[in-house]
Structure 1
Amino acid sequence: MTQVKLLLGTKKGAFILDGDGDRRDWALRGPFCETWPINHVIADPATGTIWAAGGNEWFGPAVWRSTDVGESWTHSSTGLAYPAGETPIKAAWSLALGPDGTLWCGVEPAGLFRSDDRGETWTQVTGLTSHPSRADWQPGGGGMILHGILPHPADADRLWVAISVAGVFATEDGGATWAPRNRGTRQDYAPEEQRYPEHGQCVHALAMAAGMPDRLYQQNHCGMYRSEDGGRVWTSIEAGLPSSFGFPAVAHPRDPDTLYLLPLNGDQAGRYMPDAAAAVWRTRDAGANWQALRDGLPQQHAYFGVMRRAMAADRLDPAGVYFGTSGGGLYASADEGEAWTCIAEHLPTILSVETLVRDG
């Protein structure tokens, strides 16, 4: 029997929702991780192991692990630190599992660590933090965070990261060297002659097209973009959207032309649903056209926001799509966004949503 689990990171611990292939009924478990702030929760679909990244300046950073689908948890921060004399790490913010089993972790202040033993110990990827542009990286409104990690699905040496506010960087040699990948993305808040710098853009989310690893989608602080060459050049695809500002972007699990977004009303206008009416926006043609999906979503007084990692899709057919809100609501669609249902309420602020689908 197919099992579907939704993995939530929140400001007060991790939560798990258990469902089946019908995705109609859900059972909530948690909070886990001793109610630490948990920024991102992921799972290995092959083994069911779950990892949760979190912490803050009081607790320090740590990556929690459960090998029994959330029944028990341990955590490790061994090696998850900068050298003495550097600004201490406040929290672990993002996780990703590479095709070779490498576990990656992004932290604040922005940096990248890797684990080759399933999260027991960590090693800093110094090639990124020693990049010549590092002195120019600046914190955004939420700090200077490496909040996105996108491994190539087949080539363990290729990886993209998203840093606020520095932009997208990529490696093709396992992290030894890095190159900025921001050409074509703009800085609306910079002087006119500096609108398209090599680095310094405020990337919000990265997504990879199914079956086309060099096609990337990016929601930026200043626009929505697509790249066909691994981020070397970006093209705007925001025409038709209600706003150029938003946080999450989620690719369809099979169709490289389908993408889901949750635009907000603007960076200085409240950062909530445009016109206070909730909608998930979907493209079926790689951003040429957009459609608002509203069935089942609140169309009045929807003043919530959705964080950069708080949206996900499962791999079933039709695909399920899910998002969590700053107000602690969790919405689900079992038909690729056509209709929505609120499946959990009154949770802490939801920071991340991921899925785990297991058969048998």
Structure 2
Amino acid sequence: MSRVLVLVGTKKGAFIAESDEERRQWSLRGPYCNHWPIHHFIADPATGALHGAGGNAWFGPAVWTTRDLGETWTHSSQGLAYEAGKDPVAAVWSIAPREGELFAGVEPAGLFRSADGGETFEHIEGLQEHPTRPEWNPGGAGLILHSIVLDQDHPERIWIGISSAGVFYTEDGGRTWEPRNKGTRADFFPEGQNYPEFGQCVHNLVKAPGGGDRLYQQNHCGMYRSEDGGIVWESIEDGLPSSFGFPAGAHPRDPDTLFLIPLNGAEEGRYVPDAKAAVWRTRDGGRTWQDLREGLPQENAYFGVLRQAMATDRLEPAGVYFGTGSGTLYASADEGESWTAIADHLPTISSVETYVID
């Protein structure tokens, strides 16, 4: 019988929620990582290792690693630094594994690669050398590289999301990069300049399953789909209660199914609309949307959900999970039709990922 792990990164360490494949009863353990701020907590299925990306200006950056599901931990910041004269790396905000490599997105925005499972890192300098780099501006959380999308079939292809610089793409492993933001708005720019080449505040970037080039993006200014790897983006926010939100969760098998949690607006409190919680699901690539509310609070729900705090698992039917800024972890074992709170009173939840062990 499969084991399902939900990996939870919080402002005060990492936690692991565990269940069997029925996903009815859950146990929780943690906190791990010495109570560091953990912005992203993931599994590398190829090695079985769990990695936590964390730090801040006080602690500095580090990637924590356990190879025994939390029994013992190591952490390393070796190589997570820019050359002398540049702003220091304050924290690691995102990590992504592929074929024995580990990629790390940091603040201020840059990309690093590890070839030894997180023990040492090297800077992928091409992104910092992009001619637009001097004009990148920080978002509300800083100038952070928060989304890393790896093409599992073509190792040289990578998409990244930066607040507030936009989406960038490389097809040569990071030596050269191009902005891919055509069709995404930047409403905070002066009138007539709302569709710039770069400078958009992308909130989350995910790739649809199936081997194609479909991407989904939740932005400060809308929700979008691209069929061509981000060359052109199309708005899919019609039918949603808001054009503002952070997390997006791709279905593990169906490229037309996507989950997201709109919030009421950038300047309206950044909580679920009308203080009534809902996960919104599309089954047709964003043409229509359905709000899923069973088991979620429908009054006095003044919480938000951060950009990496939503995930799906690969079981059938797919599980869907999200964590709130007020520390509640919700789970659905039926693709969002019904929800259960599986942990309460955690620190602010920064990220949610899953790991299914057969």
Asked if structure 1 preserves the Cα contact closer than 8 Å seen for 2:42 and 2:50, the reply is yes
In the alignment, structure 2 segments of 5+ residues that lack a partner are: none
Aligned-partner Cα distance in 1 for 2:127–2:100: 20
Matches within 5 A, 1:213-252: 213-252=212-251
Aligned-partner Cα distance in 1 for 2:121–2:30: 27
Structure 1 residue 9 corresponds to structure 2 residue 9? yes
Query: Residue in 2 aligned with 1:347?
Result: 346
Aligned-partner Cα distance in 2 for 1:304–1:212: 35
Could you list the per-position Cα deviations for residues 149-168 of structure 1 after superposition, in whole angstroms to 9, with x for gaps in the alignment? 00012111000000000000
Aligned-partner Cα distance in 2 for 1:55–1:47: 24
Query: Residue in 1 aligned with 2:45?
Result: 45
* Residues 329-338 or 184-193, more deviating: 184-193
Aligned-partner Cα distance in 2 for 1:340–1:8: 17
**TM-score, normalising length: structure 1:** 0.99
Matches within 5 A, 1:74-113: 74-98=74-98, 100-113=99-112
Structure 2 counterpart of 1:38, one-letter code = I
Could you list the per-position Cα deviations for residues 5-48 of structure 1 after superposition, in whole angstroms to 9, with x for gaps in the alignment? 00010000000011110001111010000000000011012332
Aligned-partner Cα distance in 2 for 1:101–1:244: 37
Matches within 5 A, 1:61-210: 61-98=61-98, 100-210=99-209
Structure 2 counterpart of 1:23, one-letter code = R
**Matched length:** 358
Query: Residue in 2 aligned with 1:335?
Result: 334
* Residues 42-51 or 246-255, more deviating: 42-51
Aligned-partner Cα distance in 2 for 1:44–1:83: 29
Could you list the per-position Cα deviations for residues 89-140 of structure 1 after superposition, in whole angstroms to 9, with x for gaps in the alignment? 1100000012x32210000000000001111110001000110000110011
TM-superposed CA distance for 1:212, in Å, is: 3.7
TM-superposed CA distance for 1:84, in Å, is: 1.3
Asked if structure 2 preserves the Cα contact closer than 8 Å seen for 1:153 and 1:213, the reply is no
Asked if structure 2 preserves the Cα contact closer than 8 Å seen for 1:212 and 1:256, the reply is no
Structure 2 counterpart of 1:19, one-letter code = S
Moved over 3 A (4+): none
Superposition CA RMSD, Å: 0.7
Asked if structure 2 preserves the Cα contact closer than 8 Å seen for 1:7 and 1:17, the reply is yes
SS in 2 for 1:187: coil
SS in 2 for 1:200: coil
SS in 2 for 1:128: helix
SS in 2 for 1:250: strand
SS in 1 for 2:268: coil
Asked if structure 1 preserves the Cα contact closer than 8 Å seen for 2:46 and 2:100, the reply is no
Could you list the per-position Cα deviations for residues 180-215 of structure 1 after superposition, in whole angstroms to 9, with x for gaps in the alignment? 000000111111211100000000001111104410
Percent identity between matched residues is 68
Could you list the per-position Cα deviations for residues 262-309 of structure 1 after superposition, in whole angstroms to 9, with x for gaps in the alignment? 000000000001000000000000000000000000000000000000
TM-superposed CA distance for 1:141, in Å, is: 1.0
Structure 1 counterpart of 2:124, one-letter code = V
Structure 1 residue 19 corresponds to structure 2 residue 58? no
SS in 2 for 1:170: strand
In the alignment, structure 1 segments of 5+ residues that lack a partner are: none
Asked if structure 2 preserves the Cα contact closer than 8 Å seen for 1:258 and 1:283, the reply is yes
